[in-house]
Amino acid sequence: MPELPEVEVSRRGIEPHLLGQTIERVVVRNSRLRWPVSPELNDLVGAQIQRVERRAKYLIITTTHGYVIIHLGMSGALRVIPSDTPEVKHDHVELVLRSGVSLRYNDPRRFGCWLFSAEHPAEQHPLLQGLGPEPLTDEFNADYLYQRSRGRQQAIKTFIMDNHVVVGVGNIYANEALFKAGIHPNRAAGRVSEKRYQQLVPIIKETLTKAIAQGGTTLQDFTQVDGQPGYFKQELMVYGRGGKLCMQCRGRLKEIRLGQRSTVYCPACQR
């Protein structure tokens, strides 16, 4: 599933082509996504696009007629292409713009979503209520994470992946950040010291920022808006490397399951 850096790369990729443009047509070829595509999207015809935002892994397109909420799901991808480009298999939803280009959504597995909201969804929409702070903001800091962790027996890895604690720290980047911070992923969040949280939070921010700058992680089902894969995977130190040698100590990396997700760590480097 695309993680926060991949979604942010998509946002930055589509934004320049959408801002200020008028929606001429909404084409829904298959409404059966994770949730049915909102029929109210047709009300956006004639609307002008004002902003393209991201909240957690959701994209929010603000128009003069309402808001579009997009989630890429496990295999979704957005393309900005000439409107007369022939459709291909799994092209499900398309915003046709007066400029002659379209924002086209392709999703083989159909786990994504395209929903409409009459009001800005960041606070009032059920999908976005109760979310924690964005990881790259000042609101997410060591003191906040330390206080939230007190008394928690939950593993630190699943704790930082909890969207109610902080959004967007997905499996790949949780693995990487904990390795760089030297923290065992199965250590209880409440037993991680304040000093170690002071080390972990900047590492999370740095890891996500670097991934965004390099274009996101190359995942099997994800490519950038321009069709090129991301470039961060070549620098992953633990994710997907279970059983291989640690790049720091040359010991053997171990792979376990935490919260139904693959977790790779170094028994020597992470305590």
**Which DSSP symbol is given to 208?**
H
How far is the first Cα of the chain from the last one, in angstroms, to the nearest whole number?
A: 28
- Whether 2 is catalytic: yes
CA 90/CA 82 separation, integer angstroms: 17
- Whether 3 is catalytic: yes
Neighbour-count burial for 124-163, b at 16+ CB within 10 Å, e otherwise:
ebebbeebbbbbeeeebebebbbebbeebebbbbbbbbbe
79 has binding-site annotation: no
Are 87 and 29 in contact by the 8 Å Cβ rule? The answer is: yes
Are 229 and 218 in contact by the 8 Å Cβ rule? The answer is: yes
Q: What radius of gyration, in Å, describes the C-alpha atoms of the chain?
A: 20
Of 54, 55, 57, 104, catalytic: 57
90 has binding-site annotation: yes
**Which DSSP symbol is given to 258?**
E
- Whether 40 is catalytic: no
Closest listed residue to residue 113, CA positions, set 217, 19, 21, 7: 7
Cβ-Cβ contacts under 8 Å for 47 (sequence gap 6 or more): 22, 23, 63, 64, 65, 66
Of 3, 6, 15, 94, catalytic: 3
Q: Which residue has the tokens 């850096």?
A: 5
- Whether 53 is catalytic: no
120 has binding-site annotation: no
CA 1/CA 76 separation, integer angstroms: 9
Of 2, 5, 121, 135, catalytic: 2
Of 12, 205, 241, 261, catalytic: 261
Q: Which residues are catalytic?
A: 2-3, 57, 261
Please enumerate, by residue number, every residue annotated as part of a binding site.
Answer: 90, 109, 152
Please enumerate, by residue number, every residue annotated as part of a binding site for DNA.
Answer: 90, 109, 152
